[in-house]
Structure 1
Amino acid sequence: MSRPRHEVDHEIGRVRQMPYGQARSTAAQGLVAEVEAEGPPESLAYAYATLVEAYVWGSEVEKAFVPFTRALRWADEHPEHLDDGDWHMHFWSFKWMVADLMEYPAVPAEQIEQTLQDMARRYALAGNGTDAVAHQRYVWAAARGSADVEAAYDAWVSTARDDYSQCEACDPGDRAAHLFETGRPEEGIRLLERVLQDDPRCATEPADMLSWLQLAYLDVGRVEDAVRTHRRALVHLDAAEGDLTGARGRHVELLARTGNVQAAVRRIEADQRWLTSGTTPRRRLDLLMSVGGAAQLIAASVPDLPVTLSEVPATTVAELAAWCLAQARPLADAFDLRNGTPSVRDEMTRRWSLRAEPHRVELSVLSTTLAPAPAPGPQAAAQPADPGPSPEPPDPAVEAERLARSGDLEAAAVAYQRAAQDAVAAGRLADAGFAHAEAARCAQLVHDHEGAHRAYARAGELLRAGGVAPVFRGPVVRAWAPSAVEVGEGEQVLSELERLTAELTDPRSDTPSTAPVDPPAADEDLERRADAGRRRELVDVADTTARTLGALGRVDEAARGAGAAAEAYAGIGAIGDAAHAFWLAGRLLGRTGAVDEAVWHLESAVEGFAMLRDRDQQSRAAGDLIDLLREHGRAAQADEVARGLMS
């Protein structure tokens, strides 16, 4: 007997609130199977659309075609079971499926043409607007590189927007991409600069449009704008949904073109999984072309520059360029054969001919040498000869705080760096150390990991020299770790973490040398609090050490450390921290082959996040657990985990 519709629809709605990934997809699969078998029929269209959405945004596009086809058949045979919301999701997902068909070279051009015609017919019968259809016709013309692409573009941009148009954030990004691709960078720049004033946001924007804009700025010689846009784009890329392999490749291109070859290699290494298993063949080809072109540009000057790749048979950038070319050629040929044009091979030739800047471009907010304070402006020079006492220049520390509060982190980083310089000159080493740490944090937040690494390292030196207790130095070193790993200096921060562990293990490390032999009873509570703080910092340092070891590939050590940190966190009631540490330990143990241990740790993470009612993190940890269980043939247990998320 089926459950009431309101109950099933509520459960489907809960699935749609989950983050994209295996947990969401598995839960949606289970609901589709249930409604197909037991009803109610009024919920089936909603269930199908939810599963299609989960697959498309969960980087499993190819799996979406089957439930979409079932949804089409269901809508044709039983339109009486679809309400207005169902129809809206149905027609919206139609756009995804039409566009995604084009991304597979094995799908014949005739099938795509027929599907486009079917989309136009269905939209017309439903009384929908025509903007979505015009957009998909343009996308198909652009994919083929056909002679009518400009006409298709003009037809799309002149069509009135409607309920099924691209979202207001995606639409200008797609328009600008066409302008950039067809040699009109200034026009595309003006469009995006105007749009970005309104701070557009969606699942992929503004990360995608900013990745285009950074290269356009570079093309027209606006190098500083390119650098600022690059940093801004990376911040948004971290928060975007989907793989965004096109944007990732464009960042690699910018780094190679500006002479930041080590940073380019690190980004290639970080995104290497998409080189062998892109979400779709076309997205994989896009990344292969970006990475291959960048690697070839770098190899022209340093062919033996090493790369560390686990699935690609290449150890140098020259080998990587050759491998990318060998992988890209047959894919490009397959698309051109399907499309009936040489456009993809032509595109590959262009993208394998990147132009380098004449000199290396500095990307860091924090330079190795501090610039002098700004000179008085024209207004100051125009003052009377004896205007009286000059106003005191602003305190750089106060100015840094103001800038940080206003959100201008780049300027705040420089101001904190100046405050640190002043503090050193005055002999205030501890203040200088904390100012450098603040500068580093600001730089870190805008993805200047090179500058952040240098500033954190200097902060650590000054804080030690200034006699700052390890319990207060610990947060600085822990914040340093991600940037050190990012720039390939993980061993340096690991040494600092080991030093801190030794100091924090000794209770005397936080005891002032002038402490009385017999402290008053009133101070005992303060001492207990200090001891609790020291022990908590020791656990935090252990957790960061495990994460750093994992990033350095020392998986066994990292797994043991993460498991110990998780138990320690649980022992002091830090449930959220314990859940994160259990999650890390489970992922690492899965890589070592200790499946049962990995499952237990991941189950503990899921349970911990459930206790905190953190459904987002609970779903992500459950997704890793489901992946592990399925990988080892435990599908029934994986389905049980997904069902548990709905309870």
Structure 2
Amino acid sequence: MTRSLDEANREISRVRALPYGVARTQAAEQQVRLVEAEGPDRARAFALLVLVESLVWSGEVQRAYLPFTQAVRWYDQHPEHLDDMDVQGLFWSFKWMVGHLADFPDVPAAQIDATLDDMERRYAVAGLGRDAVAYERFSWARRRGAPDTDALFEEWVRTPRDDYSQCEVCDPGDRASYLAQRGDVDGAVRLIQQTLETGATCATEPADMLANLAVLHLDAGRADAAVATHRRAVAALADAQSDMAGARGLRFVLLARGGQPTRALRALASDAHLMLRADTPDDRFWFLVDVVAGTAALLPEHADAQVDLDGVPVSDVAGLRAWADAQAAELAQAFDARNGTDRYARRLAQARLARPAGVRLELDVIPAGGAGAPVAGGDVGQVPPAAPSSGAGPDDETAADRAERLATAGDLVAAAAAWLEAAAQAESSGLLADAGFALAEAARCAQEAGDDDGAAATYPGAVARMRAGGVPVPHIVPVVVAWAPVAVTTGTGADVVDVVDALLGGLADPPAGDGPDAADTGADPAGADLDERLSHARRRARADLHDTAARVLASMGGAHAADAARRASRAAEGYAGVDAVGDAAHAFWLAGRLHAALGATDDAIWHLESAVEGFTVARQPQPRSDAASALVDVLRAAGRDDQADEVLRALTR
């Protein structure tokens, strides 16, 4: 049955509303096939352009070129079939194609030049502004290291913005990056700071600008400013979209050159996949260049430092340096051969000369060793004295009140110190529960400020004091959940699993009929309601603990995968039992991925189907699309293409 234009547009719009990823791309391809086979012709451009958009922003620019050229040809042959939104989308897609084709060294320079020339001609004929064209010409020249790059930069800066300009936050970020590259560091710093003061954000900013600014401060010897900016960059990275290879590479360089080898290698371990595959080959090259620069700064002192990078065949810093250099050199040769210059080779050569900065970054929020006691028991250790806290307040302000005020103001470092002071005061008064809560708050401040070591060393003491102080287990669980990520980062995840197992023993529901007044419970509605609420809290806490253990175990390697999958399944069932549909979906999704990695296809499909259904009910489109992508991959690998196609169609209904 042929769809009407409204029906086709509605389904294509639903595809466009999906988050970028495999599921969206395959659904877009499905829509193109339907329109080409059945019509209507007036929906063809929309379908093609949604496919172009899906491929570009999923890192498959080369594949996007065919539907892009098909859309251009359709526009030339049948302009009557495109409405104003289609035309606008077509002109936007020129920017994506010109900007991203250059990220692939096997795309000929002549093809990029021709596409850029066609873009400029079409923009002129349509009476559009020239800012987008000026920017793309500058970017293409900068990438090659062409002699007219400076002139093209100045031309772009002079060109007025228009409806087709890039976003207002990326624009100054790109300008500042080039200013710093050509030596105008003061101008770059000024421009970044002015932009940051506006508070404007986008998918990649201010993370990119902050990462650049932190390194500029380090190079200038401004250690305190570098630390403060680095902490802001880490926070911004958590909210950024795309792989953020540039900001992540600069983070490694900053830490390596700033005298923080352990933190540098730990950060790199979390980003190791970018050394193997980033969004584009260009992104991968620049990340590898940063790895070369960072490791060059670590040599020779840390040449033997051990590294464990998933998929990267090296075991120490010296081996990492050699491997990254070889990988980057291969890419540099390919890009320079395409570009007809030596810019990539020259930039790699500069990275090899990187050395430690003249200042050391002090990143500890909580003193080394943290404030803690043994993890598994109720023994309480001594809370070390807190560092002096900054921030004037009322004379009768307590340490806890001061900590709250400082945290609200964004001064996490001072807030952590105040929480440590509050913990020491509570413990000296025998208030172990209060001391535990204060330590947990101090650990959380350190965690958010990027001091994973301090946080990981402090959370155990917080949990120990809360347990010794008689805090109900459901109130301890959120602290354990917060602790888990830094335990994974610092390689202490096994401690979290031990605590999880200890706490699970205290969460069993009491047998029915227990207690002297049990016989009257049914006659007391208030008592029955309280019992139900307590039972609900225990069941929710059990699910949280199983989910936390599953995620920690999944991070610890293949030997723990089966246990992680089992616990994720229990977490999903537990969440479903307390109507936490979104949380259940996330746990089903984790279990499905783990079962898929274990080769348990049927279990993987069942869990992933449950995840997609749960995310649909919870109205969470991004994870729904990601879970659907994983489900489609498993179904296609199992030869169940019809089921995979049905999953994709369901996303557009």
Q: Structure 1 length as normaliser, TM-score?
A: 0.92
Residue 458 of structure 2 aligns to which amino acid in structure 1? A
Tell me which amino acid in the other structure corresponds to 2:446.
Answer: A
Cα deviation for residue 160 of structure 1 reads 0.8
Aligned mate of 2:405, from 382, 395, 402? 402
Q: What residue ranges of structure 1 are gaps of 5+ in the alignment? A: 378-390
Evaluate the alpha carbon distance shift between residue 229 and residue 125 of structure 1 in structure 2; reply closer, same or farther with a 3 A threshold: same
Report the CA distance shift for 1:220/1:519 in structure 2 as closer, same or farther (over 3 A): farther
Change in 2 beyond 3 A, CA 1:43/1:410:
farther
Written as runs of structure 1 = structure 2, the 5 A alignment for 1:126-525 is 126-358=126-358, 360-368=360-368, 370-374=386-390, 392-505=395-508, 507=510, 521=521, 524-525=527-528
Q: 1:612 aligns with which of 615, 618, 622?
A: 618
Three-state SS of the structure 1 residue aligned to 2:3 is coil
Q: Is the 8 A contact 1:36 1:44 kept in 2?
A: yes
Q: Contact 2:219/2:357 (CA < 8 Å) preserved in 1? A: no
1:395-423 Cα deviation digits (max 9, x unpaired): 22123223444555444333323322322
Alignment partners' CA distance in 1, 2:551 and 2:465: 25
CA distance in 1, matches of 2:5, 2:606: 36
For residues 589-630 of structure 1, what are the alpha-carbon distances to aligned partners after superposition, in whole Å with 9 as ceiling and x for unaligned?
111111121011100111112222333332221122123333
Residue ranges of structure 2 left out of the alignment (5+ in a row): 369-384
2:86 is matched with which residue? Answer: 86
TM-superposed CA distance for 1:245, in Å, is 1.3
Deviation at 1:357, TM superposition (A): 2.9
1:636 to 632, 642, 647: 642
Shift of 1:507: 5.0
483-492 or 9-18, larger mean C-alpha shift? 9-18
Q: Kindly indicate whether the alpha-carbon contact (under 8 Å) linking 1:57 and 1:241 is maintained by their aligned counterparts in 2.
A: no
CA gap 1:495/1:187 in 2 versus in 1, 3 angstroms:
same
AA in 2 matched with 1:626: V
CA contact (8 A) 1:481 1:548 kept: yes
Distance 2:33 2:508 in 1: 55
Residue 548 (structure 2) aligned to one of 536, 541, 544: 544
AA of the residue aligned to 2:108: P
Which whole-Å deviations, capped at 9, do the CAs of 1:534-554 have from their partners, x for residues lacking one?
A: 233122211211111111121
SS at match of 2:198: coil
Report sequence identity in percent: 48
Deviations 1:227-256 (A, max 9, x none): 222222222222222222122211111121
Q: Is the 8 A contact 1:61 1:279 kept in 2?
A: no
Q: Is the 8 A contact 1:185 1:220 kept in 2?
A: no
Inter-partner Cα distance in structure 1 for 2:396 and 2:62: 61
Distance 2:80 2:356 in 1: 60
- CA 1:528–1:43: 2 relative to 1, 3 Å: closer
1:85 to 1:365, Cα distance in 2 relative to 1, 3 A: farther
Q: Distance in 1 between matches of 2:95 and 2:142?
A: 16
CA shift digits 1:522-545 (9 cap, x unpaired) = 584334533442233122211211
- Cα 1:16–1:443, aligned 2, differ >3 Å: closer, same or farther? farther
Contact 2:459 2:483 in 1 (8 A): yes
How far apart are residue 177 of structure 1 and its match?
0.7
Q: Which moved more, 1:353-362 or 1:52-61?
A: 353-362
Distance in 1 between residues matched to 2:241 and 2:535, nearest whole Å: 43
Cα 1:355–1:507, aligned 2, differ >3 Å: closer, same or farther? farther
CA 1:410–1:641: 2 relative to 1, 3 Å: farther
Select between 602-611 and 106-115 the one with higher mean Cα deviation: 106-115
| Count of aligned pairs between the two proteins | 629
Contact kept, 8 Å, 1:252 with 1:290, in 2: the verdict is yes
Q: 1:297 deviation in Å?
A: 2.4
- Distance change >3 Å, CA 258–CA 393, structure 1 → 2: farther
- Confirm or deny: 8 A CA contact 1:589 1:597 kept in the other structure: yes
Confirm or deny: 8 A CA contact 1:258 1:356 kept in the other structure: yes
Equivalent residues of 1:62, 1:280 under 8 A apart: no
Residue type of the partner of 1:482? P
CA distance in 2, matches of 1:628, 1:287: 30
- Cα distance in 2 between the residues matched to 1:344 and 1:482: 37
Counterpart secondary structure, 1:503 = coil
Alignment of 1:115-126 (within 5 A): 115-126=115-126
CA distance in 2, matches of 1:539, 1:355: 48
Matched residue type, 1:171 = D
Matching of residue 588 in structure 1 with residue 594 in structure 2: yes
Q: 2:575 aligns with which of 544, 569, 576?
A: 569
Distance 1:518 1:629 in 2: 52
Provide the rounded CA distance (Å) in 2 between the counterparts of 1:14 and 1:230: 39
* C-alpha contact 2:388 2:417 (8 A) present in aligned 1: no
Q: CA deviation at 1:114?
A: 2.1
- TM superposition score normalised by structure 2: 0.91
Taking a change above 3 Å as real, the CA distance of residues 202 and 359 of structure 1, as seen in their structure-2 partners, is closer
CA drift of 1:266 comes to: 2.2
C-alpha distance in structure 2 between counterparts of 1:407 and 1:209, whole Å: 20
